[in-house]
Structure 1
């Protein structure tokens, strides 16, 4: 009897072994397809160029011998974090703005797949701008101060965890905003925020210039100016008296203010947040709402969605207003702002799993 059954049992065992081998191969193939850059290479074989800002907040906080990190010490911290997760990375300081596009094109020619920005939003945005139109993927190591874009992507903020995401997360496509030939990741707009940037630049007021800065800032806060604007959203015209209009591609702006709590990076739409004329007390209430992310509950705040937005003064001869794109002034009214859907590839958790 045992001899009779041995051959069928052997065949069953061989069939199970073949089936297990096929299941294992299929699992490996699915894992490789899920976590490869554009489906071409295993995750840890992603050839990555990390461009870092030595002055970024978290890199400055790395322990050093003399307490002031040199670029080499910052690079060592990044190299050790990349080595710990097995990431194939080259680490360089961020080149000057005029040389950034050339370095990105050289990286593409050299066979890199990912260019990662190690720094804050001021480091991420120009690198993202340089990557648009290439085959390269953006990575983000959020070691800066506010890290608005990284927050919207749902990235972790410790360097080891962020490096693990850079090595293992899938590639997402996200939208960018466009003013002329310039791209932005967070928001563009007119009004209060743009006026503050015009006065103080991207870094805002400084404590060591307290007297001079407050002399400029106080009139804006005591008597927040409202402008009569004409907005055209996807062909629909609105006339608004507004303290601020923000055309948001992502949730956060400035010092991690949740201007558009419901904005999504991959829906192909702007969240257009319009803030009406405010008294000084309403402005204070608005500032608190920005911090806690409930601006849309205020009676003088309206949010609409659109793919293309035009902003102009109601009267043609009125003085043009500055228009900011993220942290700098990019244009003046009249201006046309449009969304470019899925324009940027970025290494990040899936949007259904990430949380702001």
Structure 2
């Protein structure tokens, strides 16, 4: 299929990047008109489900492009998972962690060229079951991780990565952990934890390298857990996670599995790709689903 004949729909989330995503529409309209004959720019209405919008548009278009950050991508992925429709990415959100694992943390012009090249990879997704159901493309954070995301979203007066640091600091000070029962084929443990993060991609929270060895194509989930440790030590971890976990960090464990089940002694906050799933979650089953999403990638991916 020739690139010009591909039917492509760009979906904008007007709430992305603190309501600043729509400033890119005029640029996109000019550029898209020179690259595709059949394209549409769809702007989600307030309160409209991006997953449902993506699902509807997938019946009319070959490619759906998520124009926003990780939250926008997550919602659109939930509309396209296990389908033949291809996902494209224009990272214009306040958090763009998922695109880093796809080598797409580039300028918007470069990302648009990559979309036009039409090189497709089939990547893994995380299937969510238990107290919530759905799909996750990048990371699922439980405990401090979930609360950090929640507080960052509430801090509307802050912009960019500083909002995630604020959220993480507030979460560390307010949530001191609970008992978590973590089960998989490779690992089984019940202990006091402050955080458990299940990763398909490498980064989250704008700048935290939580899973350096994660790979979207390997059929594995990477789990990072932090046991209950002194407050000052946890604050040190927060600063160090820009470069990933280190051997000197006490109470930290990482392992890989195809399926992980986590139960908590009290309700906790959970995020999926930066989307707040709730603060009342106690049980999740997380399974890797191979080749569950078709996505446009650079030639060197």
Correspondences of 1:209-224 after superposition (within 5 Å): 220-222=171-173
The correspondence for 2:39, drawn from 82, 85, 89, is 89
Correspondences of 1:31-46 after superposition (within 5 Å): 41-46=1-6
| Distance change >3 Å, CA 78–CA 223, structure 1 → 2 | closer
Contact 1:82–1:88 (CA under 8 A) maintained in structure 2: no
The answer on 1:205 being equivalent to 2:152 is no
Larger Rg: 1
Q: Which residue of 1 aligns with 2:190?
A: 239
Q: Identify the structure with the greater helix proportion.
A: 1
The answer on 1:167 being equivalent to 2:116 is yes
Distance in structure 2 (CA, Å) of the matches to 1:219 and 1:79: 40
Secondary structure of the structure 2 residue equivalent to 1:264: coil
Q: Which residue of 1 aligns with 2:203?
A: 252
Distance in structure 1 (CA, Å) of the matches to 2:170 and 2:112: 44
Distance in structure 2 (CA, Å) of the matches to 1:100 and 1:58: 17
Distance in structure 2 (CA, Å) of the matches to 1:229 and 1:268: 25
Q: Which residue of 2 aligns with 1:117?
A: 66
Distance in structure 2 (CA, Å) of the matches to 1:108 and 1:248: 27
Distance in structure 1 (CA, Å) of the matches to 2:171 and 2:20: 34
Distance in structure 1 (CA, Å) of the matches to 2:192 and 2:140: 18
| Distance change >3 Å, CA 81–CA 234, structure 1 → 2 | farther
The answer on 1:149 being equivalent to 2:149 is no
Secondary structure of the structure 2 residue equivalent to 1:188: strand
Secondary structure of the structure 2 residue equivalent to 1:323: strand
Distance in structure 2 (CA, Å) of the matches to 1:87 and 1:321: 48
| Shift, 1:306, TM fit | 0.7
Contact 2:6–2:36 (CA under 8 A) maintained in structure 1: no
Correspondences of 1:61-100 after superposition (within 5 Å): 74-86=24-36, 88-95=38-45, 98-100=48-50
The answer on 1:272 being equivalent to 2:228 is no
The correspondence for 2:81, drawn from 117, 127, 132, is 132
The correspondence for 1:306, drawn from 249, 257, 260, is 257
Secondary structure of the structure 2 residue equivalent to 1:309: strand
| Distance change >3 Å, CA 270–CA 195, structure 1 → 2 | same
Contact 1:85–1:163 (CA under 8 A) maintained in structure 2: no
Distance in structure 2 (CA, Å) of the matches to 1:268 and 1:59: 35
| Distance change >3 Å, CA 104–CA 271, structure 1 → 2 | same
Secondary structure of the structure 1 residue equivalent to 2:146: helix
Aligned length: 288
Listed one character per residue, the Cα deviations across residues 207-238 of structure 1 (whole Å, up to 9, x for unaligned) are 48xxxxxxx98775457613232210136422
| Shift, 1:144, TM fit | 1.6
Contact 2:51–2:77 (CA under 8 A) maintained in structure 1: no
Distance in structure 2 (CA, Å) of the matches to 1:120 and 1:126: 10
The answer on 1:339 being equivalent to 2:288 is yes
Contact 2:178–2:266 (CA under 8 A) maintained in structure 1: no
Distance in structure 2 (CA, Å) of the matches to 1:244 and 1:195: 10
Q: Which residue of 1 aligns with 2:270?
A: 323
Distance in structure 1 (CA, Å) of the matches to 2:43 and 2:259: 36
Distance in structure 1 (CA, Å) of the matches to 2:269 and 2:186: 23
| Distance change >3 Å, CA 306–CA 97, structure 1 → 2 | farther
Contact 2:86–2:296 (CA under 8 A) maintained in structure 1: yes
Q: Which residue of 1 aligns with 2:233?
A: 282
Secondary structure of the structure 1 residue equivalent to 2:222: strand
Distance in structure 2 (CA, Å) of the matches to 1:97 and 1:91: 18
| Shift, 1:197, TM fit | 4.0
Distance in structure 1 (CA, Å) of the matches to 2:170 and 2:17: 31
| Shift, 1:268, TM fit | 1.0
| Distance change >3 Å, CA 196–CA 108, structure 1 → 2 | closer
Distance in structure 1 (CA, Å) of the matches to 2:55 and 2:192: 45
